[in-house]
Copies of this chain bind each other. A is one copy, B any other.
Amino acid sequence: MTVSDKTTSDIFRNAIEALKDPLPQRVWSVIVSLFGDIAQGERDQISGVALTEVGRLMGIRSEAIRVALHRLRKDGWIESLRDGRSSMHKLTAAGRRASINATPKIYAREPVTTPGWYVICTDRDLHGDTGKTLSNAGISLSRNSFLVAENKLPDTANMLVFRASPEHVPDWARSQICPDELQQAAVTLETSLQKASSYITAPPGFDALQTTALRTLIVHRWRRIALRIPDAPVCFFPKTWRGEACQQLSSGLLDQLPAPNLPDLETAASGYRHRDLSV
């Protein structure tokens, strides 16, 4: 082990420590983040060995990876193929779609700025999925009125539509949009990302497994906040909201840690192949 190796391994250990979720992790969800980050392509697949090694670097036991893959197969996220003594895993078509849908929000570089907003009211008797569609597209203001961004407008033929610009947003509306728990999660993540950034300064020379482990933790933790940020005008967020800081820090870290090629990941993992073939 060279001095450089020692340094790289210290930096890695510190960065992993900084990025580990203070809350218990759902391993299946971490794996979804990993596939979404480096294996979203239709032909992309990752071996059980590589998944196990990346998991080990993140502090996840191989048994937990095995259980999570089982659940992901059952829920239609992942399909697995035997390949000799090992297995290859890939996103299903449905898994890919869900992953692709989430990508813009997770990897956006800038806060989304929307030029126009609409208040939409439906008839008092909401039929079918209209209410769900509308609250997913924007913010629910009441059981039958919604704030929706211009670029998310559904078919409004049967709806009452106002072009709307917010003039006054009271505290209760800010709390509804951005609950305390989400605000607190952003504050905590900002601290983690700042700490990790302070370790990963110069190009760190991580191997493909290390890079994947770090990227996965970053993407996973940011994803759990990013996907819960409602599509709302900027003035709806509290002044103390740290979502944008988290977005910038995670983008910066991912730039420092370019996604590895899958062959490089397998090569790095193959050194460990003797340890565990059973996933």
User: What mask results when residues 134 to 154 of chain A are scored 1 for a CB within 8 Å of chain B, else 0?
Assistant: 000000011111010000000
CB-defined contacts of A160 to chain B, threshold 8 Å: 141, 166, 168-170, 173
**Copies of this subunit:** 2
Interface residues of A in 154-196 (CB under 8 A from B): 156-170, 172-173
Say whether chain A's binding surface is mostly helix, strand, loop, or mixed. strand
Interface residues of A in 101-124 (CB under 8 A from B): 117-119, 121, 123-124
CB-defined contacts of A144 to chain B, threshold 8 Å: 141-142
Given contacts A142-B144, A144-B142, A167 and B163 within 8 Å (CB-CB): yes
Q: A residues touching B (Cβ–Cβ < 8 Å)?
A: 117-119, 121, 123-124, 141-145, 147, 156-170, 172-173
17 inter-chain pairs at a CB distance below 8 angstroms, sorted by A residue, are A119-B119, A119-B145, A119-B164, A121-B142, A121-B145, A123-B172, A142-B142, A142-B143, A142-B144, A145-B145, A147-B162, A156-B168, A157-B168, A161-B166, A161-B168, A162-B167, A163-B167
